Amino acid sequence: MKHYILFILSVLLWASCKPVSAPTDKQQQEDSLTTESAALYDTKPSQAPNSLEIPKVTSGSEGKILRRIGYTTSYNAKNRIPNWVAWHLTASHADGRYKRDNEVFHEDNDVSNPRAYDSDYRSSGYDRGHMCPSGDNKWDKKAQEQSFLFTNICPQRHNLNTGAWNDVELQCRAWAKRYGDLYIVCGPVLYDQQHKTIGRNRVVVPEAFFKVVLRKESRSQGKPYYKAIGFLYENKGASRDMSRFVRSVDEIEELTGFDFFSLLPDNIENTIEKQSDLRDWYPLREIK
């Protein structure tokens, strides 16, 4: 028995003296991510090339991640609206036979009450504004249905929803058909400390909306070619001149606190996120 106790003590002593290795770069990166980001980036690293649209968030801006067929949303339970919605839009997803004709907006049973209901929007003076558009989900019946969940919706002025916001949605589908791959993130911008709310469940009304778009093209040399652009729209009736709303992705990052397209190599990300030239994205649709 005495020998056994001595053996156990020697093992414990050896373990306590074992040197602790310095954290690797990968460990440091994981530690720097919030729980939300870690779940998205690190649990399935093999899917990283297909997750360029998922932003890296800073501490304090976490939300509940909801993965849908056509998009991923970060839901803010306090505000009853998404923090952001991200999706990969391809040429084949830019059209389809599943229209919105028979779809209705509906509450999301994956989030707890209080949450947004259709009654909150009724007679509020605000549209039920899609973040990931119905038009980007016509390729799949379930994707179309899920685009009408209120965790993908924000209160939006009618003139914006049917005007300039709709214009950029249509333009993105035209770009997807031309270039093949777009990675899109959009969401609300909350400037004020106190926000207007609508309905019994006090759904927060954003002061503005952002959208960032990354395009990826295949070139003959075999290396992909990237371009990025951002847009910022006040939540009110707006001009239909898209150039007035163009911002660099860096500007949108500074405004929102999100790090977009962070899975790109740093040299590419740093270069394209400084750019904000709509001429790189021609031809533009004719606005009718």
DSSP codes of every residue in 108-130: -TTSPSS---HHHHTTSS-EEEE
Q: What is the pLDDT along the chain (288 residues), one digit of tens a residue?
A: 444 444 444 544 444 444 433 444 433 333 333 333 333 333 333 333 458 999 987 655 669 999 999 999 999 999 999 999 999 999 999 999 998 888 899 999 999 999 999 999 999 999 999 999 999 999 999 999 999 999 999 999 999 999 999 999 999 999 999 998 999 999 999 997 889 999 999 999 999 999 999 999 887 677 889 999 999 999 998 789 999 999 999 999 999 999 999 999 999 999 999 999 999 998 888 776
Fold adopted by 24-281: Extracellular Endonuclease; Chain A (3.40.570)
Q: What is the pLDDT of residue 58?
A: 64
**Interatomic CA distance for residues 236 and 238, integer angstroms:** 6
Q: What is the pLDDT of residue 42?
A: 32
E strand or H helix at 98: none
Q: What is the pLDDT of residue 57?
A: 73
Q: What is the pLDDT of residue 55?
A: 94
Please, what's the largest Cα pairwise distance for the chain?
A: 91
Contact 182, 213 (CB under 8 A): yes
Contact 252, 209 (CB under 8 A): no
Q: What is the pLDDT of residue 30?
A: 33
Q: What residues does each domain of the chain span? A: 24-281
Q: What is the pLDDT of residue 101?
A: 84
